[in-house]
Structures are given as structure tokens and as C-alpha cells.
Amino acid sequence: MPLLHKIAAVVIVAAVVAGLWLPGERDGSRAATQAKEPVAQAGGVGHRSPPPAPGPAPGKAAPSPAGTVGPATPAAAAAKANELGQVPVIMYHRIVPKPERDLDRSAKDFRAELVRLAKSGYVPITAGEFAAGWINVPAGRHPVVLTFDDSMPEQFSLDAQGRPKAGTAVAIIQEVARRYPGFRPTATFYLTKDLFRLDGQEAAGLAWLLRNGFELGNHTLSHRNLSQLSKKDVQREIGDIEARIVRLTGRHTTTLAYPFGAEPDKRSWAAKKDGAYAFKGVFLAGWKPSESPFDKDFDPLAITRVQSEGKIDRNDCARYCSAAWLDELERNPESRYTSDGDPNTITFPRAAEDRLAKELRGRGRVY
């Protein structure tokens, strides 16, 4: 390649990298570095993933020519990496001692589900990381995304000592992470105006979550069904809570979860409003695991989730809730996302190559 072409290519890559949301450096979490710049400067809406870091890290796969899938490393092949596999994005609501509502989970069952995930080799990542395609998980392990809707006090509140109250979702996540050190203590909380009912301590509470590696997302101001609203009302619902979050934290959210999983008449109304919000991922209510963010069929503006529940008849959870789907993925391990250990490459068996998005082929590694 002529020298001028090489220089131009480097400039283009540098410009793209500068415009995208890159992973946080602290504690390996993006939650600590959610977009601080005005949303009008965000690196696009629903884009696939950040480009790989320039040059391979020691012991990692060398870059392949643009548009060309290269060979997997022996370590990735030995781990049976499949980064085109499915990822469970699990949807939670209240975590309570004894369930009273349809979407409640008991603290006992929630803890048991987290332990199951930890023992099965799952590592939590944030919704923002997943939507952007930044999956920094050890080789042979599987990403899982823990999401909580409605910002309720049973999910997070602080005691008099400034620690998460016992029995809340955050306290249980941290407890399980202490027992299983490879289980990263993170989750994404989709906020409404209730803000965990922190009663004047909203700024301190949200700061605690961000400081401790959790992520904040947008769930609209008052949890209205967006499919029934005008463009103006959709943008007000999303923009008003976004503005409040920015006032309290100084940071924009990077993903949205639709209340009731209901899409507005036009997705574009919810995805971006100049100067107010711009999301890299939008999450539905769920019925199945999500495609890999590197799959050609992945839609960052319609990411599916699964409801957390045992294999019960209600809501067809015998087939479509978390316990049933985790069973399904264990019975068919070739269908789930297994990491190659390098977030800059995308490794998969040769038989899956046709599923890789064309624009990501240069990161592809096959065995």
C-alpha cells in the first residue's frame, strides 16, 4: 500500500475511535465512564461495535486484512470460542422476601439464579458494553447481561452506613461476586422518576452505583406505553428523565429499555433526539436470548431479553423465561456465546462464518 494511503487509513481509524464510546479503564467497567460528552457528539445511534485497538496485544491474534477473516489462535480454538452465539439478557423487577406481583422474584431465587450463572461460567457485563460489542470476558466464559427495570428500592437502597441494604439486588450481586471471584459485580438499572425512592439522596445513590461499577439506563420518566404516544410525548418521556439523570450524575445514559417492551410508532423517535439523548442500544421486554452483537441479524435498536423466572406455566415461563433458557443453552453449548478472551477479535467455528456481519469481517477469527 502506498505511504499516503497508509497515513490516510491511520487518520480515518483514529477519527472513528475518537468518536466512539470506548470501554472504561477503571475496574474494567464502562459504567464509570458513561458518555460525559454532549449526546450530539455520541458516536452514532445503534452502531455495531468499536473497532479493535490498533495492533495486537502480546499473545493475541494478529490483525487480518480488512474484510478478511483470519485464523483463530490455538487458545481460542481450545476454549471452543463462539462469539456468534446467543447471550442471555435477563430482565428483573422487584427482589423481595416473598413475591406478591407477577414479575417479582424472591431474594432466595434471585441469589440461586446468580449462583447458577457463576457456576456455569457466566460473567456479567453491562447493557452498554453489550450493545456496543465490547465483551471483555475470559476465554471459555460466557457473557450475561443483568438488567433491572423501574428503579425500585428493592433493587437498590443504602443503609445508615452508606452500604447497600441487605436483601436488595445490589447487595445480593455483591455477595455472590465475593463468593465467586470471577463473577463480575455489575448490572444495568433502567431508571424512571422514582429513582429507587432515595428521598433526597438521589445524587449520592446514583453516584454510589456508578462508583461501584454499575450502569444506569433510561426507562422513561413515568413508564408510559410509548406505542400509544405522539412523537412529542415519546421524546418528552425519554428526554425528561435523561435530563434529570444528567443533572444528578453529569453523565448521559447509553441505552434505553422500553416500558412494557412497547415500541413507538417510529423507532427513530426513541433512538435519538439531538441535544437530548442518543442511544447505542434499545432493549425490549423479553422472550429469548439476544443474538451476538456481531451477528448479521443483530438489531441494536431491538435487543431481546428474557424474564427472570423458574420453569412455571404462568406467562409461558416453562419455555421462555430464564430458567428454561439457561437449561436450553446448557443442553446446546454450541449455541451460546463463548469468549475467545480478546475483546478485539471475534472467534467462531467455521460453520458459523456466514452469520458474521460483513462490516466486522476484519475482526473475525475462525477455526
Higher confidence at residue 109 or residue 4?
A: 109
pLDDT digits (tens, 9 = 90+) for 349-364: 999 999 999 999 999 9
What's residue 42's pLDDT?
A: 36
Separation CA 158–CA 171 (nearest Å): 10
Instruction: Record the pTM.
Output: 0.85
Over the chain, what is the mean pLDDT? Answer: 88
Arithmetic mean of pLDDT, 163-190 = 98
3-state secondary structure of 142: strand
**CB-based contacts of 133: which residues, under 8 Å, 6+ apart?**
48, 49, 50, 293, 294
Residue 243 has pLDDT above 70, yes or no: yes
- Cβ proximity of 61 and 316 under 8 Å: no
Phi-psi region for residue 196, left (φ > 0), alpha (ψ -120 to 50) or beta? left
Contacts of 92 (CB under 8 A, 6+ apart): 105, 110, 146, 147, 148, 149, 155, 169, 308
**Rg of the chain taking only CA atoms, in angstroms:** 20
Mean pLDDT, residues 83-88: 98
pLDDT value, residue 54: 43
14 contacts: CB under 8 Å, gap ≥ 6: none
Residue 158 β-bridge partners: 164
- pLDDT at 253 (0 to 100): 98
> What mean pLDDT comes out for the span 124-143?
98
Mean pLDDT of 300-319: 95
Please say if the pLDDT value at position 43 is more than 70. no
Query: Domains in the chain, please, with CATH?
Result: 3-51+86-332 (3.20.20.370)
Query: Cα(251)–Cα(30) distance, rounded to whole angstroms?
Result: 12
**Residues 252-270, mean pLDDT to the nearest whole number:** 98
Position 62 confidence tier, pLDDT thresholds 50, 70, 90: low
Q: How far apart are CA 259 and CA 264, in angstroms?
A: 11
Provide the phi-psi class of 335: left if phi over 0, else alpha when psi is between -120 and 50, else beta: alpha
Residue corresponding to grid cell 458518555: 35
Distance separating alpha carbons of residues 124 and 325, to the nearest angstrom: 16
Please report the pLDDT score of residue 48 as a whole number.
58
Percent of the chain with pLDDT over 90: 80
Determine the pLDDT at residue 60.
57
pLDDT of 5 higher than 80:
no
Q: What pLDDT does 31 receive?
A: 36
Task: Locate all alpha helices (DSSP H) within 151-211, ordered by sequence.
Answer: 169-179, 202-211
Burial code (b: 16+ CB inside 10 Å, e: under 16) for 42-55 equals bbebbbbbbbbeee
User: What pLDDT is recorded for position 286?
Assistant: 78
Report the range of poorest mean pLDDT among 27-41, 138-152, 309-323. 27-41
What would the mean pLDDT of 140-167 be, rounded to a whole number? 97
Higher pLDDT, 64 or 277: 277
Spatial distance between the Cα atoms of 77 and 67, rounded to a whole number of angstroms: 21
Helix axes 231-249, 202-211, angle to 10 degrees: 80
Q: For 283-310, what is the mean pLDDT?
A: 97
CA of 103: how far to CAs of 93, 110, 347, in Å? 6, 12, 36
Q: Measured in whole angstroms, how far is the alpha carbon of residue 332 from the centre of its chain?
A: 23
Q: d(Cα 173, Cα 184) in Å, to the nearest integer?
A: 9
Specify whether the CB–CB gap between 283 and 240 falls below 8 A: no
- pLDDT of residue 34 exceeding 50: no
Looking at residue 64, its pLDDT comes to: 66
What percentage of the chain reaches a pLDDT higher than 70?
Answer: 82
Residue 53: which pLDDT band, with cuts at 50, 70 and 90?
Answer: very low
β-pairing, 142-149 vs 255-257, is unpaired
Whether the pLDDT of residue 67 is over 90: the answer is: no
Q: What is the band of 314 on the pLDDT scale with cuts at 50, 70, 90?
A: confident
